[in-house]
Amino acid sequence: MTPSDSEHPLRTVSYVVLGLLEAAGPQTSYDLERNVEISVGFFWPFPHSQLYREPHRLAVDGLVTATRESSGRRRTVYTITDAGRAALRSWLAEPADPAQRRDPAMLKLFFSDASPDIVAGLAAHRVADLEKTITFLEQPGLGGPEGSSTRRTVDWGLSLCRADLAFWRSLLQDQP
């Protein structure tokens, strides 16, 4: 075992950084932020400060290299290393942890017996939000070419949003 690996345990954000560097080439933290925003961040948001701190950590462990511009904005461009690629692939090969859903509206519905009159408004808001999201995801060309991984992500988002929408709509019908 080389001394460069096995330092800090990696978290989800680590693999997001590694994955984006692998998929879209060397980037600054700002580039990462932009790429997250239009892809992963849509269903797994990070505050931007994580995208500044995390690559720095990865550099310490040798999973990325950092080169800082000597003039101008002196920004840092990160590049994935072979060790980084290995870590990424190893993570990809592990079984995935179970999914979590955090839906405050659902929570309120669950406790709505304490004031049943809120259900209609809750559902109406949820329906409007989901319709907006679905419209966004249905933009032609959003996910890229058929069969690409970004396209699959969008399709997945769409099907889950539609199921969610159907639920809240049926709730509206049941108690108008």
Partner DNA sequence: TACGGCATGTAATCGGTTACATGATTTA
Partner DNA sequence: TAAATCATGTAACCGATTACATGCCGTA
CA distances, 59 to each of 6, 16, 49, 78, 164 (Å) = 13, 15, 16, 8, 41
Query: Residue 45's closest CA among 76, 9, 16, 10?
Result: 16
Closest to 43 (Cα-Cα) out of 98, 101, 91, 83: 101
Choosing among DNA, a second copy, none, which partner's interface includes residue 76 (Cβ < 5 to 8 Å by kind)? DNA
DSSP secondary structure string, 134-157? HHHHTSTTTT-STTSHHHHHHHHH
Closer residue to DNA, CB minimum distance, 3 or 73 = 73
Among 83, 106, 134, 172, interactor with a second copy by CB under 8 A: 106
Ranges within 150-169 binding a second copy (CB under 8 A)? 150, 152-153, 155-156, 159-160, 162-164, 166-167
Interacting partner of 29 out of DNA, a second copy, none (Cβ under 5 to 8 A depending on kind): DNA
We find the least distance from the C-beta atom of residue 98 to DNA, in angstroms, to be 13
- Nearer residue to a second copy within complex by CB, 60 or 160: 160
Token pair in block for residue 110? 């669950």
Tokens of 124: 């109406």
Binding site for a second copy (CB under 8 A): 12, 15-16, 19, 22-23, 39-40, 43-45, 85, 88-89, 91-93, 95-115, 118, 122, 125-126, 129, 148-150, 152-153, 155-156, 159-160, 162-164, 166-167, 171
